[in-house]
Structure 1
Amino acid sequence: MLNQFPQVLTIAGSENDGAAGMQADLATFDHFKVYGTSVVTVCVAGNSYGVHAQQIMSTSFIDQEFKDLADDFNIKASKTGMLANASVIKTVVKNYQRYDFGPLVVDPVIFGNNPNTRLLDPNTFQLLKARLIPLATVLTPNYYEAQTLAKMKINDDQDMLTAGHRLQNLGADNVIIKGPHHDPQQKIVKDLVLLSNDHHFWLAGKYYPTKRKNGTGDTLSAGICAELAKGQSVTDAIKNAREYVDKAIRNPLNVGHEYGPINHFV
């Protein structure tokens, strides 16, 4: 039947080197066998050495992207990535609330490739917390983003669980906090999953010291989005997406000279 194939939406930045952002989302959608659509919020010029320029889309253009998708497609789940500034966030929230695009996975994208590269100014950050996160079916911050959103330092498992509850208090239904992976001596990476029913569990995997992990957060959130669109539970969607990310890191794709992409072809 027409429009019954699972269709999903990424609301994110386009990164021309293909490692992260919308390009990583669309590659992930292909792997999970869902049809990917997109709302471009910002175009980024860069490569494996770094980001060198960006162009933010006008709010009228973003409005038109949303309208055109709503007029033609049957989108079952959505995810957000880089939203650039306060005007973009307001526009995305307005349109997501206007149209029925299914459950929303929010990848907060507060930092770049390291915690010293902050992408959101204070006003934009506050809007992210106040307007976007309350719409999240699943919130997927990394270790540094979780600390920033929860306003606390995470030193151990109990701290991580406390931070997860603080993020739920911001309005997110379910939360996965990606554990720290900045110590080259560590052996295991542990992610916390805190569900809306207050049940929590841990996902542990081997730590791989590699420079080929750009797009990890995008891929995780896109995988969750794809699985939700196919009717999987939140728990299974997170587990399946996490397993895919682990395989993509474990089998590096050697393109680019510095901080390259994970391997979406696994």
Structure 2
Amino acid sequence: MSWLEALVLGLIQGLTEFLPISSSAHLRISAAFAGWDDPGAAFTAVTQLGTETAVIIYFRKKIGRLLVAWFRSLRRGASWSDNSDSRMAWLVVVGTIPIAVLGLLFEDDIEHAFRDLRLIATTLIVFGILLGIADYVGRKERDLDHLTAPHGIAFGFAQALALIPGVSRSGGTITAGRLLGYKRAEAAEYAFLLAVPAVFASGLYQLKDIGGDDSPPWGPTIVATIVAFGVGYAVIAWLMRFISTNSFMPFVVYRIALGILLIVLVATGALAPDAGPVLAPPK
């Protein structure tokens, strides 16, 4: 991976991580379009450490309250549901379990089979349509004080779907939130908070694969992560303002258009479904 590739891919990661359009899909597609090697699942996971650091800084007051409430709830005799902050903190922990378990079970598929451009095109379209439906029919009445254990688990399984590039971590979680009747900003905020432990765990776990013979080198990966942090912070601030007065429909249209374009390019032979593989499939 060259320094230019790292700069471009870091920019793409920062721009797309928080929008409901799938950053992993865009990293994969961008590399294929440019004729570069697929940066791989490890590169994606590590650069997401930059964007999730932006989440921590942007929501630092909220995260600080959640951590204090969570540690207080660990005391003998304290209930996890004593207040909304401790309840949300525990539900972030519980909601992380599905993606942690499924991520380990399907690790090989995530690194190989799930990166097929035909699958990515399909998930972009299908989950784009689901996002549009959810945003349209959502009751828009619940805030995060109404978060319950079943809802937190549902959010967690929706996040786990993002192991497939094209689903989108924020898009899948927001779709679940809108179907459960949460307001747009509330669903987005919880999606971002829920992603923090999962992304940091995945990114730290994948650090071992950076710098190997078949993976991007350390220098460009660090540059991409730093770029992703700066751009990601700006995107969070913009998105939270945008969805306060607008629907997710522009992202739905974009996802469907990109998915159709990808299908056409693969069907006509202009782009191979495994374009730019960086890793050989497991035997």
Q: TM-score per shorter chain, which class?
A: under 0.3
Higher Cα Rg, which structure: 2
Name the one with the larger helix percent: 2
Name the one with the larger strand percent: 1
Using structure 1 for the length normalisation, give the TM-score. 0.26
Using structure 2 for the length normalisation, give the TM-score. 0.25
Which structure has more relative contact order (CA 8 Å, sep 6+)? It is 2
